[in-house]
Amino acid sequence: MKRARFSEEQIIGVLKEAEAGAKTADLARRHGVSEATIYNWKAKYGGLEVSEARRLRELESENARLKRLLADAMLDQAALKDLLAKKF
């Protein structure tokens, strides 16, 4: 899996610079990212503080874990139904 080059703190710092009036092209050049990346960051992290971004990441990982658990439970249930259907 690709490792992120920027932490949430760094991304929010870049976005704070953009909110302060820096041009997107200048920010992109200074930080070595594309303008599209900055717009994507703005869509995901716009208006968040560092603590809120950390909480968002925690919630996303918890959500992924719960989705995996649900998928496993549904798979087990389908297997049991198939087993019962074969017995009768």
> Which pLDDT tens digits describe the chain residue by residue (88 residues)?
556 789 889 999 999 999 999 999 999 999 999 999 999 999 999 888 989 988 998 999 999 999 999 999 999 999 999 999 888 7
- Shared-domain flag, residues 7 and 27: yes
- Shared-domain flag, residues 31 and 62: no
Whether this prediction's pTM lies above 0.75 is answered by no
- Shared-domain flag, residues 10 and 42: yes
Measured CA to CA, the distance from residue 83 to residue 73 in angstroms comes to 15
Range of the domain at 39: 1-47
- Shared-domain flag, residues 32 and 74: no
Q: What is the pLDDT of residue 86?
A: 87
